[in-house]
Amino acid sequence: MAELLTLLFALLFLSIFSLSVAAENKQEKPSTELLEFLGEWETEQGEWFDPFWILKNIRSKSDKKKEKDDE
């Protein structure tokens, strides 16, 4: 009887473990909107650039322009 209970608990544990591993391996497909958004940050050569880089350059140019205007 004890062997049967041990076997049932082992079987239960293995089934729960396999379900959790299967859930981790399941990947959702990205939405079309996300793919289109990411595609906006790709050059014609297929290289990616950081949108924050653009913001930094815009800010630094506006800061330089303010400095010139203040002089």
Per DSSP, what are the bridge partners of residue 48? 42
Q: Which domain holds residue 7?
A: 2-70
Q: What is the pLDDT of residue 57?
A: 79
- Rounded Cα gap, residues 12 and 10, in angstroms: 5
Number of domains in the chain: 1
Average pLDDT (6-32) is: 74
pLDDT at 65 over 70: no
Which range among 1-10, 24-33, 34-43 has the greatest average pLDDT?
34-43
Note the pTM of the prediction, 2 decimals: 0.34
Question: What's the whole-number mean pLDDT along residues 17-36?
Answer: 75
Instruction: Give the residue-averaged pLDDT of 9-23.
Output: 71
CB 60 within 8 A of CB 52: no
